[in-house]
A = this chain, B = another copy of it.
C-alpha cells in the first residue's frame, strides 16, 4: 500500500523487534557476565521459538493487509480482460513479508526435532533482508527524486543489516553483531514512519517539494539523526538492563532474572532437546 498505513505497519513491526532485541541481548550478555556462568539459559531457546512464531504472525498480518485492503489485488495477479498485472506494488510488498515469514519458519524449525543446522535461521533472516533490499532497489526507479532518495537511504540500513546478519551465521551469539542488528532494525522501523510522514503527510501541512535539493540534503542528514537516536535508545536500554540485573543480584544473591528455572550445559547438541524428548538420549 503506497500510503501512510502501508509504511506505518512494517515500521511498527521492525520497531517492535528492534526494541525487543535491544533488551534481550544485553539481558543475556549481562546475566552471563555477572553470574560468571558460561551456561546458557534454556529460556533463550524458548524465546527464539516465540520470536519465530511472532515473525510468522506479523508476516501473515502484513500479507493479508496488502492483499485485502479495499484497493488491494485480492489475490488476483493478472487481469485477463485488461491484459495487465493487478496492483503489482501490493504484490511486491506481499513478497517482502513472505520472506520474513520464511525466516520465522526457519527460526521455529531450528529448535524442532528436525535438527536443522544452526545458522540456517540467521541465513534466512539475512536473505529476507537482502530480498527486501533488492526489491526496494528496483522499486524506486522512475519515481520523483525525493521519493527515490528517501527509500534509497533505507538501502544503507538494509544491506548493512543483511551483511551483519550473514556474519552471524559464522559468529553466532556475538553480542556486538546482535546489538548492531538491533540498532539497524530500530533505524528501519523509525525510518519507515519518517517516510510515511514525509510522503503522505498524515497530519496535513504543506507537501514537501520533491525536487528541492535542500529537502534531499535535510532528509539525508535526518536519516543519520535517526541512527544516532537508535544508538541512544540502545544505550539507555543497556544501562537500564544493567541496573535491573545489579538490583536483582543484590536482593537475591543469585541471578535468575525470572526467565528460567533450570540451568543446563550449553553443549551444541542440546538445542534440539527443547521441544521434544531428544532422540539422542
A: residues with CB less than 8 A from B are 29-30, 33-34, 36, 83-85, 88-89, 91-92, 95, 98-99, 102, 109, 114-117, 119-120, 123-124, 127, 131, 134-135, 138-139, 142, 156, 169-171, 174-176, 179-180, 206, 213-218, 220-221, 224-225, 227-228, 231, 235, 238-239, 242, 246, 279-280
Name 28 A/B residue pairs within 8 A (Cβ), A-sorted.
Answer: A30-B115, A33-B115, A34-B279, A36-B280, A85-B215, A85-B217, A85-B218, A88-B217, A91-B218, A91-B221, A92-B221, A102-B231, A109-B235, A114-B238, A114-B242, A115-B242, A116-B238, A120-B176, A120-B179, A123-B176, A123-B180, A127-B231, A134-B156, A138-B216, A138-B217, A138-B220, A139-B217, A246-B279
Q: How far is the CA of A51 from the CA of B83 in the complex (A)?
A: 45
Residues of B within 8 A of A231 (CB): 102, 124, 127
In the assembly, how many copies of this chain are there? 4
Residue in B closest to A126 when the chains form the complex, CB atoms: B180
Q: Is the CB of A88 within 8 A of B135?
A: no
Q: Inside 8 A of A214's CB, which chain B residues have their CB? A: 84-85, 88
Q: Which residues of B contact A156 (CB under 8 A)?
A: 134
Question: Which residues of B sit under 8 angstroms from A224, Cβ to Cβ?
Answer: 95, 99, 131, 134-135
Q: Is the CB of A179 within 8 A of B99?
A: no
Residues of B within 8 A of A120 (CB): 176, 179
Bound form: Cα–Cα A253–B258 in Å? 42
User: Which of A34, A115, A142 gathers most chain B CB within 10 Å?
Assistant: A115
- Report the Cα distance A33→B170, complex, angstroms: 19
**Complex CA distance for A117 and B29, rounded to whole angstroms:** 8
Residues of B within 8 A of A91 (CB): 218, 221
Across the interface, name the chain B residue whose C-beta is closest to A88. Answer: B217
> Nearest Cβ distance between residue A275 and chain B, in whole angstroms?
15
